[in-house]
Chains A and B, each alone.
Chain A
């Protein structure tokens, strides 16, 4: 859990750092792809982020559940 949170924090920070350099719409693959076909890709990226986030949440919950199952309660 801790490792996942740390990794995610690092990734977010790294992406945020990269984002500040992508100011010019003429530069950067990310920005260019966002603008394609009437800006639909911004929506698709948003949906992808939500689904990816839900997946990460499910994995975290899955891990916690597994730990819970492995811990046999002492009678």
Chain B
């Protein structure tokens, strides 16, 4: 128990992350509506939702434009995720875009931002002639545990529990690697060289996982497998630098020389990896599509979102634990191979 408690902890955490992270539903959201423009006069609108319960929960629907509301004259749920409604749009809506709101009994107010483009704009509705729209208030229902449903990201927001911890694990292992490399330079012992190599090998595996999962995610969010983005290329260069570490080791036949050279290279590679992962994305001059930058919704709101954090932190601990466990096995195997080698050489 003394030695393997953290391995059990990692596995239990990962088990929970996979189950909760994939099973927890996304919160309801409005995802599409037709038509995409409104002109004064009657209009029939069809709205599509995701994880919504239109059939029994809708109380009111309204269009909002610069704080003024136009209520739906009638609505009919076609299914849980499709609803049809009629509006009589009065002339004079002021803003270029209107929002569409749905008030529901089960999950409060849902907003579809900029649902319609306003045709024939005016100076605002005339309060004297426009009919008032005051949707009935609804008691706040206790919201079940859901993950945020962000535009474009949708279900792929769950990649936060798998793609991001890959990089955390890689950084953890490369930190072990650089620590062992420093020991090589300090003490010149071959065992530290083997340990540094093991850490880099397993760390690279996680770096490759990070690249592949990121690429799959990029295809569904940005529509391309790879873009020339500062963060993406930085990550790729960091991985390639560590691949070059292996190539460098392969090219030096003499063990003591190889250990020293590899240790020095490893320290440089580590510093560059930190620059690429932590400094480069924070430079203001660098514009990036990747979540975490200004203007992109994903990581900024994640910073505030306790629901995602509750799964993300255990995921990081779990994946780092697993990667360190793999490093531990790899390291012990390398030591064993070495003692066998020596026994055979004698």
**A residues within 8 Å of B by Cβ?**
19-20, 23, 25, 31, 34-35, 37-40, 42-47, 49-50, 53, 57, 61, 64-65, 68, 71, 73-74
Check A68 against B220 for contact (C-beta < 8 Å). no
Describe A's contact surface by its main secondary structure: helix
Check A42 against B219 for contact (C-beta < 8 Å). yes
A57-B326 contact in complex given A25-B223, A35-B220, A50-B209, C-beta closer than 8 Å = yes
**A-B pairs with lowest CB-CB distance, top 3:** A46-B213, A73-B343, A40-B155
Describe B's contact surface by its main secondary structure: helix
Check A40 against B224 for contact (C-beta < 8 Å). no
User: What is the bound-complex CA distance between A20 and B215, given in angstroms?
Assistant: 12
> Does B154 sit within 8 A of A, measured CB to CB?
yes
Check B156 against A73 for contact (C-beta < 8 Å). no
Per-residue contact bits, chain B 315-346, to A (CB 8 Å; 1 contact, 0 not): 00000000000100110010011001001101
Check A47 against B333 for contact (C-beta < 8 Å). no
A25, A38, A53, A73: the one within 8 Å of B340 (CB): A73
> Does B299 sit within 8 A of A, measured CB to CB?
no
Check A38 against B209 for contact (C-beta < 8 Å). no
Number of A-B contacts (CB under 8 A): 82
- Tell me the minimal C-beta distance from B7 to chain A in angstroms: 14
Interface centre among B18, B155, B224 (most CB of A within 10 A): B155
- Tell me the minimal C-beta distance from B289 to chain A in angstroms: 16
Chain A residues lying within 8 Å of B330, measured Cβ to Cβ, are: 61
> Does B180 sit within 8 A of A, measured CB to CB?
no
